[in-house]
Structure 1
Amino acid sequence: MVKYKSQKSITGKFDADKVFLALIDSVKNADEKQFNQLMIEMIGPIDPSLTASVQHYDRKNQNSYQHLLKNIDYSWIKNKGYSTALRQQLTALSNQVNLTGKHQYIPAVWYEGDLPNEAPYATYAFNQEEMNLLALAKTWNAIEYLFPYKYMMDSKWKDVLVEVIPVFRKINNRTSYEKSVLFLAEAINDTHAGGFMASKNMKMINTIFNVVYYPPFDYKVGAKSIIVKKFLNDSLAKHNELKAGDQIVAINGTKVEQWLKERMVLIPASNKSVKYRELSPVYDEGYALAFGNLASQTLNVKVARGKTHLNLKLEMLDRRNRQDIAVIQKYMTQRATVERSIKGMEHIGNDITVIRAGHLFEKDFPKDKDLPQLSADLKSKKAIIFDMRAYPQGPGFFSYYLPLVLGKAPFAFARYYAVDLKDPGAFIHREGAENYMAVIKDAPKPMGELYTGKIVILTNEDTQSMGEWFSMMLRQLNKNTTVIGSQTAGADGSLKKIDLTRCLSI
């Protein structure tokens, strides 16, 4: 609270990390009276002229449309373990208003991604309890004050803190450190937190998930089965008991539903659809988490093939074997080649146009002179299909060109909130930021009448973040719109990063 609410911290006169490290041993060894005194001294004097009542900033009277206040809960201040003097000081601090328009630990511009002035500790060796607890404190409090979806988590955030303190106290190497941060990231139920699993952040993912073996086939994870899609090459297909289309329903006597549940515990995600996605092959990283933590290279699998159930042997590839690695990499290269050949925009007959967000790049954007023809071509179609099942590679097409050529004027399709610098923990509505299209003076006007043909939007668990944002916009382009597919990733909104010890928590 001192870090995010006090005037001395707001203006850069309170180094939260240094204070934490200086006090942690004293706090651990303090009795109740000593603890209260330490906290009173740390908080220091509070300026009475900056209280909410003096500044006429009463949360109870805030407009619910303009302010998101669901995350604010200072009931913990009533803890009877705190002295009367400390409770009074904490209450006064909770009611402080920031009038500076900036903050030492919050980005000055609402859409900036990095939380400022967080030391990275680049040489840390993960072997000091106080430093590990600092990493926990930095992350936990960033979520407490700066994460708008805290009120939607499966668990109460304060209960998570109690659960993870013993976990962070046991850290003694990089593996246990990353696993602990991953455990914390999973608790916030946000698919954007999965960015922590990228190789640029996590160095020990193979060890944590024990990713040694790789299946001889490409596959897709479902709720109760692992579906064999395609073998990595013809030789593997020929010499394997399993066939493309088989559904693996049990592995080594364990039903796949339970098997997957055990392997998704540390995967940050908003919903199970994303966890199944992450358990499927991650091509750019070269691992398959659904087959992590295997005791041996040979598996006994139960397979559903049509109406028949078969008990078969499955021999896995070994990621430590050069020949096996070569097979995996060759398949990935072939798959990437196929992906690159997919057209970003394609006309199907005379009546339908398909626009694939994940395959439409800036190089594919129309020239200004070609816009009238593109507008005429699209408006002549009975239907336009928007395939949003991959991350948009050319966002400018959706935010600028598409509404322009389809005759759609800028309109509000969502509400965008950012941290309220006056009252960290609260969020305030950003006027105008919800328009999908920048309203620029002298900008071209929408071309002709609004397109009224059928609009179909395809979504699945790969529809994430910007893909979800544009799906919301496309859904309201006209009244003749249908969404077909499955649950999206649940990662709408901007990404924020905080420096911890030698890696990034997202």
Structure 2
Amino acid sequence: MKKITLFFLLVLTQITFGQAKITENEKLAATCKVWGFLKYYHPVVAAGKTNWDEKFFEVLPKIENAKTKEAYSIVIEKWIDDLGTVSVNKPLADDQKRDYFYKNLDLEWTQKDKLFSKSLSKKLNFINENRFQGSNHYVNRDGKEVALQFVNEPAYPDFQWTDKKLRLLALFRFWNYTEYFFPYKYVMDQKWDQALVEILPQIADPSSEKEFLMAMREISIKLNDSHAATFNSGMMKYLGGEKYTAFGTKFIGDKAVITTVANDSLAKIDDLKIGDIVTKIDGVTVGKRLEEIFKYVQGSNKAVATVNGGFLMFSGNTDEIEIEFIRDNVTSQKKIHRYPGEKIKRSPQKTSPKWEILENNIGYVKMNKVPKEEVPEMMEKLKNTQAIIFDVRNRPTYTDFLVSEYLNPEPKPILRLLYQDLSYPGRYYFNNEMEECGKINPEYYKGKVVVLVGAGTHSFGEQTAMSLQTAPNATVIGSQTSGADGPNYYFTIIKGFDSSFTSAGVFYPNKKETQRIGIVPDIEVKPTIVGAQQGKDEVLERAVLFAKNGK
């Protein structure tokens, strides 16, 4: 009796599997994952022995016609079988000297996807176990400025947004670039599988060019990486517009304080003053407006996304906007002008020294202004100060960690890098050799080393801050940094769509993460509205106070 019951259960399961209806979104999401997996794992595809894009275009109508899970699995199995027999090719044993990183590797979907028959899952598992081990046709680490590079990807110069198969190809490419080669996939806010399911309808069947373009932008922003964003020439008119106000703001809490005026004469036309607090734009609070545009603004964390979003918030395509603002505790409304970028003739910036000695014998260095060749002279003049404040809040020049040679008595490890393991896409490994700074120097600087950081401390700036942190008497002061340390790789997805992301992981020597977190200040200083109105540099003021009394 038990055997008969079991038999009928198995038959019922097969009937249920075969008859279950599937949606277009489910089919395309599963196909995106299979397409990418085969691209980097199948020996025929990964070796470049077939036109993989064309194979996708050929199978797409069959996938669209598959109405059940059984029919879908049959189509995908036939697609795989037509590539030829996969020979047994057991991967080489892992290098025992390598420190492997598995947090991004997840191939369980090949065995658990609800659209896959047991036979299809078995085929995918066999390909995984006998994956391609040669030089991949589509990706390598032979780049010059940035090692990782995607290659042999046709650009499709005649690409039109109305072409569904090319829209899907663009998404499939980007999704799989991220799936297998973005080192920080594991710290994203949203699971990458879920991001695919969510964005697919806007790519597969957009109601307009705008919906498609903004979906391509949004999927890249989901990486939560200050380096990651997709650009298209037609995107800007939807993203923020092509006209700008003549002022700049700093966001403090849920308010935008005018802190800079790009052009004095234009500011006078609208009677705008530094210190005015903008609370609404066209009737919408700045806080709500910021939330609305966050999904289109790159940023590893809210601090840097707020800075980037603040620029877009006031731009647009109309000549005027209405703002609500507070001046001298009085709330008012007015219309202000926007101008094309070329009409905003920016007032010349005030010149300031690259480095100087402040009161109380405190050195102050603007790292964004000091060229490499001037470092020896600078450090010679500052060697007898009681403290040196290194300002890294704007991108430093490429001093190549030379400053640290004057701050350390011996070489110090700064960071360790995480690289893609191209023999096993999705797996990574830590470089055996750590990046170092400093040298044997008994005459190293003995005073306090203070490092200023903020949202503008980005990428190389964060590495610079990490090198300065190695000094024996270093203190970091400021606010959360960009959280995107590591080389930024720029690449073309398809004609007209350029994108980027952080291409190698950067960790402290003890494997403490920097991505999204950034360089954590020892003393946090948050700007205040009063400070912004008075034009104060509150971070620098706090650093000077610390340099004087150590508190």
TM-score by shorter chain over 0.5: yes
Alignment of 1:144-163 (within 5 A): 144-163=179-198
What TM-score comes out, normalization by structure 2 length? 0.75
Distance 2:187 2:408 in 1: 37
| Aligned residue among 277, 288, 298 for 1:258 | 288
Distance 2:493 2:432 in 1: 33
Distance 2:490 2:52 in 1: 17
Map of 2:9 onto structure 1: none
Distance 1:501 1:29 in 2: 27
How far is the alpha carbon of 1:293 from its aligned partner?
5.0
| Aligned residue among 268, 272, 275 for 2:305 | 275
Q: Does 1:451 align with 2:445?
A: yes
- CA deviations on 1:66-99 (whole Å, 9 max, x unpaired) are 1110112222122243122211111222334554
Q: Does 1:465 align with 2:459?
A: yes
Distance 1:457 1:268 in 2: 25
How far is the alpha carbon of 1:237 from its aligned partner?
4.6
Distance 1:125 1:173 in 2: 12
How far is the alpha carbon of 1:436 from its aligned partner?
4.2
| Aligned residue among 467, 489, 501 for 2:482 | 489
Q: 1:41 to 1:50 in 2, by over 3 A?
A: farther
Q: Does 1:108 align with 2:108?
A: no
Q: Does 1:360 align with 2:370?
A: yes
How far is the alpha carbon of 1:18 from its aligned partner?
2.3
Larger strand percent? 2
Distance 1:16 1:121 in 2: 14
Alignment of 1:237-256 (within 5 A): 237-256=267-286
Answer yes or no: is the 8 Å Cα contact 2:279–2:323 preserved in 1: no
Secondary structure of the structure 1 residue equivalent to 2:280 = strand
- CA deviations on 1:11-66 (whole Å, 9 max, x unpaired) are 22243322222222221212434432332243343332325xxx4449xxx89x81
Alignment of 1:109-148 (within 5 A): 109=142, 111-148=146-183
Map of 1:405 onto structure 2: 406
How far is the alpha carbon of 1:375 from its aligned partner?
5.1
- CA deviations on 1:281-306 (whole Å, 9 max, x unpaired) are 4xxxxxxx1124577724141x2335
Secondary structure of the structure 1 residue equivalent to 2:489 = coil
- CA deviations on 1:467-503 (whole Å, 9 max, x unpaired) are 111111211222x211111111111112233322213
How far is the alpha carbon of 1:186 from its aligned partner?
1.0
Map of 2:62 onto structure 1: 26
How far is the alpha carbon of 1:419 from its aligned partner?
0.3
Question: Percent of counterpart pairs with the same letter?
Answer: 27
Map of 1:315 onto structure 2: 336
Distance 1:223 1:209 in 2: 24
Distance 2:226 2:388 in 1: 29
How large is the RMSD of aligned CA atoms in angstroms?
2.8
Alignment of 1:36-435 (within 5 A): 36-44=73-81, 45-51=85-91, 55-57=92-94, 66-77=99-110, 78-96=112-130, 98-100=132-134, 102-109=135-142, 111-171=146-206, 175-194=210-229, 196-197=230-231, 202-211=232-241, 213-281=243-311, 289-293=312-316, 297-301=320-324, 303-305=325-327, 308-319=329-340, 325-326=342-343, 328=344, 330-331=345-346, 334-335=347-348, 337-338=349-350, 341-348=351-358, 351-362=361-372, 364-365=373-374, 371=376, 376-393=380-397, 395=398, 397-399=399-401, 401-435=402-436
Q: 1:391 to 1:375 in 2, by over 3 A?
A: closer
Answer yes or no: is the 8 Å Cα contact 1:241–1:312 preserved in 2: no
How far is the alpha carbon of 1:222 from its aligned partner?
3.6
How far is the alpha carbon of 1:155 from its aligned partner?
0.6
Distance 1:376 1:230 in 2: 35
Distance 1:36 1:125 in 2: 31
Distance 2:291 2:159 in 1: 33
How far is the alpha carbon of 1:156 from its aligned partner?
0.6
Distance 2:295 2:209 in 1: 19
The unaligned stretches of length 5 or more in structure 1 are: 282-288, 438-444
Distance 2:267 2:152 in 1: 54
Secondary structure of the structure 2 residue equivalent to 1:490 = coil
Relative contact order higher in (CA < 8 Å, ≥ 6 apart): 1
Amino acid at match of 2:333: L
